[in-house]
Structure 1
Amino acid sequence: MLRRAAMVSALLLTSSVFTECSEKALDIDNPNQLSPTLFWRNADDAEKALVATYGPLTTIMGWGRMMGAILTTLRGDDLNPFPAQEVNDVGTFAVASTDNRVLEGWGELNAIVARANQVIANVPAIQMNEARKKEILGEAYFLRAFAHFHLLNMWGNIPLITKPVNALEDILVPQAPAADVWASIKSDLRQAQSSLPAEPKDVGRATAGAATALLGKAHLYTKDWAAAATEFKKIVDGTQYRLVANYQDNFQAATNNNAESIFELQYQRSDTGNWGPSGTPNPWRGQAWEPDVAPKGYTSQASTTINRWVYDLFMKEKTITGAIDPRAFATMIWNYPGAKVYQDDFTKAFTGSDQNNVWVRKYLNFDRTSSLTPGSWAYPTNNRRMIRLADVLLMYAEAENEANGPSAAVYAAINRVRARATMPNIAPGLSQAAMREAIRNERVLELTAEGDRIFDLNRWGITADVFTRNPALRSNSGGQFQRNKNELLPIPQNDINTNPQLKQNPGY
């Protein structure tokens, strides 16, 4: 496991090696800075640098909070956030390029890229066990691809930096064509795929399966359907991963790192952490985005609801025994007999119109009395499952349907997901278009509130149509989607000011 103590010491040791350049840093010698010539000496240095590369994933600025909900989950049409200046501006379409939340997510992802570049450039020359060296490089390639994948899909126009930053001119570069970034992502993932083991050195590290799944996803997002299906099939036909019997086990701390998980972020509880990015002393690494999605009255934040169309989709079809889809109870809280909000009865938790709302249940920790107690920002440790088998099965079904139509393999994949929830098989004889719709609906039933929805809408090219035709999707805030703007996040103004070669995204 990526233990907290080891991660903290690694970040302290290597933060000066991986920090971004500035003119001031180039002009002044820092007596406390560790020279690269003194650091990249042995296997221990290689391991510390790799741990530092994982570091930004789980900070408050990364998937600890900003990437965990504010910059991803709150942007989909499945959720309906209430307004909160800067905090929920991304989800309510009021975001500006000066928004600190945007800068924080952008910064942590770019920190992963910068650190991975250092590992890839310096580890090959270290004298150490060659097998472990290969794995370290494979992990670095995976992490760089992972960061570039999210930067590209969230910001759209990004620089492509694949070498260590040693001078100001190395970082003051223009944005690269998306095709070049995709090519780099796929190349990195093929390298990772061939270098990584099936089982990780420590729980939470990248594996060959994680690289295969993300490579398939990269092909899917670029509409290379056959290549995507080929990669996903390696996992679908394999025996390493399986759907767990209880759907809710994918969102609870007691069942972290279960058999369905392909790549999972490891949260760590800390009562004495600090609010800051990786590289700062002892940053919080708990699951800190629960307050952003917890119901009103159970959070210090503005909260969000689940849009009614998601509830309606869950209620549209019953299980083979005539019951409600069990995934509904793990995903949503609504006014049904026996419904609980943390440890309170639903009918006592809410009054007035709030009793008619549908609230988020997924990833909430009901062993607590609210998202605030006994602690909010660093208390929960239910890991974020970034890639799990059910998602891969549905992506495989999509890729295969687009490549070859609704074949037997498509039916088998989607029905495998539905069977876990005791839902009936998809009706036979569907057209390709009808199966496409069935797969898209199944992604809602399986993945609501997991942060995937905005990525799906964007890659399908329907984001603007969905939001502009349905203004009620942002009824809590009255936010109005602007076509050719809100599909992407703004490039942080700080970077625009620093690098004159960067161009802002349209509309900002």
Structure 2
Amino acid sequence: MKKIVIILSLISIVAVITGCSQDEFLNVENRNSLNAENFWQNQNDAESGIFSVYSSLQFTGVLGGTSVTNFALLSEASRTGNIGFSAETLEIDNAIINSANPRIFNMWEDLYRVVFRANQVIKNVPGIEMDETAKREILGEAYFLRGLAMFWLGTTFNQGDVPLPLTPAASVEESRLSISPKAQVFEQIFSDLQLAQNNLRDRLNWTGEGQEGRATWGAVTAILGKVYLYEENFSRAREEFLKVINSNEYSLTANIEDNFTEAGEFNSESIFEVQFFANLENNGNFGDGEGSQPNESTLRGTSWVRGNGGFGAVFATHFISALYRNEVIDPNLPINQAPVTVYDDESNPSEEARKFSTRSEASIAYEGDGSLFYGQSTREGFIRVVSRAQIKKNTHYFENREPRNSGINERIIRLADVYLMYAEAVLREQGDAGITEALTYINQVRQRSGLITLEALFEGVGTPPILRNTFPDLTDAEILALVPDVHPSLMIERQDLTADNIIIHLFNKERPAEFAWEGRGILWHDLRRRPDGGANRIRELGEIRYTTTTLNVQPFELLEEFVDNTMQDFRDRKVNFTEDDYFFPIPAQEILQNPNINN
């Protein structure tokens, strides 16, 4: 349930009066037109201004529309589904990205629209006579949103060297800025987030005002920690994450799926989320006159799902499907002791012992797992896709059809992310001395989903769970005799519990399983910042040839010569991908329009 619906008539904060002759109006001010001179008058104007910044987070190039596929496709969890859906989608998936790709320009343009609107607030709100606490907090929100948008720009384009507008441009010429070096861009991001943290120091939530979704001290502090982590200042990252943890404002949800549904919005785990609305008849939350447009809703569900109302632009990879199916659950945890309802068909339920982690069940539907997926059992009528899995996160799989426009909010950062980033920061700062502290938080995330502790996992597992579930009537020895060529990526061998090994586990398994298809490219950025290099990881995964046996599926009904390609992830991307591909180029349209871009 959405907590606030704010209807605004603000079409554009900087709209210019046009179409009015001097003879008709003489010196009479037109109060129906809005511009920077006559708009910023009172507290209502200040609130409308900050809401317009939030609204821009829904834009196509930020978190709405086609942006949902861009970062998903460059992670290890996704590959192109319906390639006829978009030529530029296929280009991104294959890592053959040129500056003329319209997706690239959409992201660039829309992120700078967020910055522009935040700059309007930062410039004009200080001069308004209004409640000083409200003024301080609104400015804190503006600094946060500008810092967040610049962080996304600096981690997405041109290795971080991007224009840095700090005042609202009054003309087209003023908007044509030269590039600022990454160091200057990130210095400003830190400054903005620190100002926001101070301004929002007393704003722990908006529950009392019924305005959940606005930035809080916790949201700013969590993002500030993430920026420090990305810049490898592990000590400062650890400090900021610990502030969030020790605030006791947040806790992991008992049911991980609450983080991916409309009913679970603004739960105890959510730190910052962007709101979307399915009801386009009303303007919706933080609307700025764009409320009747599709950017009030998210297209994630229709982009993920093949059939059932979806377009299938993104499929789950073999890697992520096998990763989920190979997780080792702990039968002694209470969450695993209750039986699971499964269906041979939609009208024939029965109960079985749990086989898969709850984050697996919340993330994917897998052919034959007995779950209900859009009103049908996965044991019959399941639409087969490349990896035999379909994405559940941020979809309405529990209904009969995926709606064209979805109101499920996008969680930008949640407590599980803070826990795992805190553990990483501790390990990368302290090495083996930080293992005990790091395991405390890693295990909380794992055990919430019913998994064994990391210490137990590192002791090794004789037979991978994905094979045990494939051959439930055989002993481990019989299974390994039957399938002697199990790929090493599926084997869970004993390894030493060292800081280096835990960090690799976080990047290879824990974070992909926890955050696949979430936020604004969480896994894409994780690949880019891997200690051992993200391009190497893509090539490594691209060499794995999966088999129908190790994936617990029936043989593919395809032409013989195509089977080999189908059972391999990143067949083209592994050839093209380099570390440079973790940044997009400056869009060609910007280069053509802005003569200062190369100065």
Shorter-chain TM-score: which interval? 0.7 to 0.9
AA aligned to 1:244 is T
CA distance 1:337–1:214, shift in 2 (3 Å):
closer
Asked if the contact 2:116–2:168 (Cα under 8 Å) also holds between the matched residues in 1, the reply is: yes
Asked if 1:389 corresponds to 2:484, the answer is no
After superposition, the C-alpha distances for 1:321-343 in whole angstroms (9 at most, x for unaligned) are: 08422211111121234133321
Residue aligning to 1:269 = 278
More moved, 476-485 vs 342-351: 476-485
2:500 and 2:592 mapped to 1: Cα distance?
46
Asked if the contact 2:427–2:438 (Cα under 8 Å) also holds between the matched residues in 1, the reply is: yes
Note the C-alpha offset of 1:281: 6.5
Asked if 1:198 corresponds to 2:204, the answer is yes
CA distance 1:485–1:272, shift in 2 (3 Å):
farther
Which of 446, 452, 457 is 2:522 aligned to? 452
Residue aligning to 2:400 = 369
2:38 and 2:288 mapped to 1: Cα distance?
22
Within a 5 Å distance, the mapping from 1:324-335 to structure 2 comes to: 324-335=356-367
AA aligned to 1:324 is F
2:385 and 2:51 mapped to 1: Cα distance?
44
1:394 and 1:249 mapped to 2: Cα distance?
19
Within a 5 Å distance, the mapping from 1:245-256 to structure 2 comes to: 245-256=254-265
After superposition, the C-alpha distances for 1:202-258 in whole angstroms (9 at most, x for unaligned) are: 110000000000000000000000000000001122211000100111101111110
Structure 2-normalised TM-score?
A: 0.75
Note the C-alpha offset of 1:278: 6.8
Residue aligning to 1:27 = none
1:317 and 1:253 mapped to 2: Cα distance?
27
Within a 5 Å distance, the mapping from 1:328-343 to structure 2 comes to: 328-343=360-375
More moved, 449-458 vs 204-213: 449-458
Note the C-alpha offset of 1:56: 1.1
Q: Say which SS state the counterpart of residue 412 (structure 2) adopts.
A: strand
Note the C-alpha offset of 1:160: 0.8
Within a 5 Å distance, the mapping from 1:169-318 to structure 2 comes to: 169-196=173-200, 197-200=203-206, 201=209, 202-272=211-281, 280=290, 282-284=292-294, 285-294=296-305, 296-318=306-328
1:3 and 1:75 mapped to 2: Cα distance?
34
CA distance 1:170–1:432, shift in 2 (3 Å):
same
Note the C-alpha offset of 1:122: 1.1
2:187 and 2:69 mapped to 1: Cα distance?
28
Note the C-alpha offset of 1:452: 1.0
2:42 and 2:33 mapped to 1: Cα distance?
19
Residue aligning to 2:437 = 409
CA distance 1:186–1:253, shift in 2 (3 Å):
same
Note the C-alpha offset of 1:300: 4.9
AA aligned to 2:523 is R
Residue aligning to 2:506 = 439
Residue aligning to 1:70 = 69
Asked if the contact 1:216–1:228 (Cα under 8 Å) also holds between the matched residues in 2, the reply is: yes
After superposition, the C-alpha distances for 1:163-195 in whole angstroms (9 at most, x for unaligned) are: 121244432222111111111111111111111
CA distance 1:78–1:476, shift in 2 (3 Å):
same
AA aligned to 1:142 is F
1:349 and 1:228 mapped to 2: Cα distance?
48
Asked if the contact 1:468–1:481 (Cα under 8 Å) also holds between the matched residues in 2, the reply is: no
**Any unmatched runs of 5+ in structure 1?**
18-30
After superposition, the C-alpha distances for 1:89-148 in whole angstroms (9 at most, x for unaligned) are: 323324432222222222221111001111111111111110100000000000001111
AA aligned to 1:405 is G
Structure 1-normalised TM-score?
A: 0.87
More moved, 417-426 vs 217-226: 417-426
Q: Say which SS state the counterpart of residue 57 (structure 2) adopts.
A: helix
**Any unmatched runs of 5+ in structure 2?**
17-29, 333-354, 457-495, 545-567
CA distance 1:467–1:414, shift in 2 (3 Å):
same
Residue aligning to 1:424 = 452
1:356 and 1:422 mapped to 2: Cα distance?
24
1:335 and 1:134 mapped to 2: Cα distance?
53
- The higher relative CO (CA closer than 8 Å, separation ≥ 6) is in 1
Q: Say which SS state the counterpart of residue 254 (structure 1) adopts.
A: coil
1:198 and 1:356 mapped to 2: Cα distance?
43
CA distance 1:472–1:306, shift in 2 (3 Å):
farther
1:468 and 1:320 mapped to 2: Cα distance?
33
Asked if the contact 2:61–2:111 (Cα under 8 Å) also holds between the matched residues in 1, the reply is: no
Q: Say which SS state the counterpart of residue 154 (structure 2) adopts.
A: helix
2:291 and 2:441 mapped to 1: Cα distance?
45
CA distance 1:367–1:425, shift in 2 (3 Å):
closer
2:245 and 2:308 mapped to 1: Cα distance?
39
1:268 and 1:15 mapped to 2: Cα distance?
26
